[in-house]
Amino acid sequence: AVIKISDQDLQTLKTLEKLQKNNVRREELTLIFRKRLADIPNVSVPFDKIEGVSSYHIFPILLDKAMNRSKFMVFMRDKGIQSSIHYPPIHLFDFYRRKFNYNDGFLPVTEEVGKREVTLPLYPSMRDEDVHYVCDVIIEYIKKEEDKQ
């Protein structure tokens, strides 16, 4: 039997191989983040006991309630580190507020997490040293904030 493989099939196989390699690399980086951030006060790392296979597409952290997320993100940006926000409380989007009459307080845990989540950089070409730098800057920020108190 002759099996025909199209150029598109070959490209798909190459893409899947690359995806697998990228996922492995992001997992390695995630392990470094988790180890470095494990004992840092005012920062927690969610999803540490997930079951199944992760693509490690983002690396979210949760800041302590007392920390100012906006100031933290500006500090990170000023140190050359891009951060972002994922997982905003979807029930507070205009569409859901109008359609279902959802208001603040409807899902208090979701809303609290939404206020504290920050996504750190995570990409396959990131170097181990880059992860260490991000963690060092987080520690620097926390120490700076502690010194103010």
Query: Is the pTM here over 0.75, yes or no?
Result: yes
**Residues 1-15 pLDDT 10s:** 778 888 887 788 888
Q: How far apart (Å, rounded) are the C-alpha atoms in residues 16 and 111?
A: 36
State the pLDDT confidence band at 54, using cuts at 50, 70 and 90.
confident
pLDDT in tens, 126-147: 999 999 999 999 999 999 998 8
Average pLDDT, the chain: 92
Q: Give the end-to-end CA distance of the chain in Å, rounded to a whole number.
A: 75
Find out whether 107 and 89 touch, Cβ atoms under 8 Å: yes
